[in-house]
Every structure is written in structure tokens, then in C-alpha cells.
Amino acid sequence: MIGLLIGGVLGLVLSAAGTPLFIRFLVKRGYGQFVRDDGPTTHKTKRGTPTMGGAVIIGSMVLAYLITHGLLAVFGVDFGGPTASGLILLLLTVGMAFVGFVDDFTKITKQRSLGLTPRGKIILQALIGTAFAVLALNFPDGRGLTPASTAISFARDVPWLDLAFAGPAIGVILFVIWSNLITTATTNAVNLTDGLDGLATGATAMITGAYVLMSLFQASQSCALEGTRGCYEVRDPMDLALLAAILTGSLLGFLWWNTSPAKIFMGDTGSLGLGGALAGFAIFTRTEILVAVLAGLMVAITLSVIIQVGWFKVSGGKRVFLMAPLQHHFELKGWAEVTVVVRFWLLSLMCVTVGLAIFYGDWLIRQGGLAGVTP
């Protein structure tokens, strides 16, 4: 537990202290946000606000992870050192953040809303996602557990949904596809949510906070310790909890500067990096479907875009919402930006609470804690 506290505080301090330095660096070079002309009129004041702030969030996450493990080793705290799960998750996060950085930098230097071409972005994300998936199925621990498994998971692996049903080779191929689908979904969801000051930052912090709790619980109920029906077959749950705590702290430190009126935006550097992190947590903690509940707000925002675009095409130009993503619809209805953000945060908190309840309920059922219900 002391490791989680150290990591969380380090992430918070590094992010909160590093963000204003990064803001000054960006302002000095004129690296500001490009704002689309067809958006809410109130957003025109955001033009020129420094962006790419996700570099601070992800940078703080990596530094805090390495420093925390170094401090724990120096003071003789038995935490196990960096793990395969932790390092591979960082690889996915940094890789996706790099794609976002290239996209942001292109937008800034060319002063346009389009950075990388859709095809270029998809290819880069697929390459990183595929490398992640292949690595995640390797590096077994002493019990033979790898960071990921080929089984599709809800609150844990579902044995009858094992993608290796036709053999290991087919299982790897299907897992690579499945993993890329999850990564694409989470990166796009965070990206679409990042449209108002502090919205995506706060909502993501709630989800990563939930992963701290779930990973801690998985560590306490590991099959290596308990061996009971409700135990968890997860590799390196304590290190995943540490990374989740660090990322939560980094997000909160950044939120100090990102809340309305924002002094900096996370940009695609942040949204793609954070989406990658959420995908990694979901896959490694065996909560691949449950993450859709935890990130219910982001799912709703993503669906609003799909519905808007789909209906626009089939209806010959009609719209369901005044504007998509969903947060801008409420802005155009007259809600103040801060009102939208706070209310959406509350919705996100509700989704996270429901997700945690489902996660714990699954464990209770397997323990026989809910009378009359069979697992």
C-alpha cells in the first residue's frame, strides 16, 4: 500500500509542477490549439491555448513509475520491481501518445483541424496495438500466467469465450484483432470526450481510480494466495494497481491547469495515450467488457457521434443532435460549459460506481454471498 501512496503522490506532484513549465515552453513557441469554425461560439476564445498537455500526463506516469520502484528498492520495501505487465502497458500508453503527438504537431504547424490522415493514424495505431498484443501473450510468470489471455473477459476471463478454440495460432491472431478493437474503441472514446475543459481528464481519473481498487482487490484474492473459486488469475495485479494510482495522480495534477478556464489542453497526445492506458488496464485485469460500463459516459458520447453521422447519411442531411459529440449538443442548448462538465462528471461517477458494483457482485456470487444465485 505504501508503494501506491508514493506513486500516486509522485504522479500528482510531477504533473502539477511540470504542467506550468510545459505551458511556458509551448507559449514561447506559439504551439496553440486550432479551433474549428463550426463549433460553439464560446470556443473561439480557446484558439491559441497551449495543447499537447498529454505529454506531461504520460511523462509523469513513466517517471513516477520508475522513481517509485527505485525508492522502494532503496528502502528495502518488497514490491517486486517493474513487471512485464507494467512495462508492456507503459509501452502501449507511450506508443499511442506518440501517435497523438504526431497528430497534434501536424495540426499546430499547419494550422488546421486535420493532423494525420485517417489512414495514417489507423496504420500507426494498428502497428502499436499489434506489438502490444503479441508481447502481452508472452512473458509467463512462475505460474505460467501471461499479462493477457486469449479468453474474452467481463469481470474475469470467460472460459467458453476463449479465442484459442481452434488452436493456439488462431487464438493469437484473433486476440490481436480483439485487442486492436479494444484499443481503437478506448482511444476514440477518450478523444471524443475531450472537448470541454477538464471533462476527459476528470472522467478518465475516475476510471483509473476504479482500476486502483479492482487491481488491489485482485491482488488480495489472487489464486496464488487463495486458490478458491472466486480468486483471480491476473499477472502482476499490484504493479497494475501502482500504475493506475500513478496515472490517477498525474491526471489530477494536470486537471488543476486543465479545468475551466483551461490553461492547457491534453490534445491527441493525451487522449490517445490515455485511451491506450485504459485498453491496457482492461485487458490485463481481465475486464475487457466491464470497461464499457466503467467508461459509460465515454461510450454514450461515442454513440452520439455514430448516431449523428449515421442518421445524417440515411436521412439526407437531418440531425438527431444540435451538434456531436454529445457535450456540444448541451452547450448549444444553452448550458454553460462548466455545467456540462460537472454534470457529465457526475454521470461518469455513476457509471464507475455501477461498474465497481458489478465487479464486486461477480466475486460475491462466486463466494456464495448472494443467496439463491449461481455463478
**Which ranges in 196-266 belong to alpha helices (H)?**
199-220, 237-258
Q: In Å, what is the CA distance from 5 to each residue of 45, 56, 97, 221, 243? A: 38, 20, 25, 21, 11
Burial class (CB in 10 A: 0-12, 13-18, 19+), 249: buried
Residue 268 assigned to a binding site? yes
User: Do 263 and 48 form a contact (C-beta atoms < 8 A)?
Assistant: no
Cell numbers placing 29: 513557441
What are 18's three cell numbers? 511540470
Backbone angles phi, psi at 368, to 5 degrees: 80, 20
Half-sphere exposure of 220 (CA within 13 A, CB side): 9
Rg over alpha carbons for the chain, rounded to the nearest Å, is 21
DSSP, collapsed to helix, strand or coil, labels residue 48 as coil
Residue 136's H or E segment, with its range, is helix 118-136
- Beta-bridged to residue 151, according to DSSP, are 162
Query: What's phi and psi for 139, nearest 5 deg?
Result: 60, 60
HSE-CB of 115 using CA atoms within 13 angstroms:
20
- The answer to whether 54 and 270 have CB atoms below 8 angstroms apart is yes
- Coil vs helix vs strand at 321: coil
Residues 6+ apart with CB under 8 A from 243: 7, 61, 65, 86, 89, 90, 277, 281
- Does residue 258 have a known ligand-binding role? no
CB 276 within 8 A of CB 96: yes
**C-alpha to C-alpha distance for 98 and 103, rounded to whole angstroms:** 9
Residue list, annotated binding site for Mg(2+): 191, 268
Residue list, annotated binding site: 191, 268
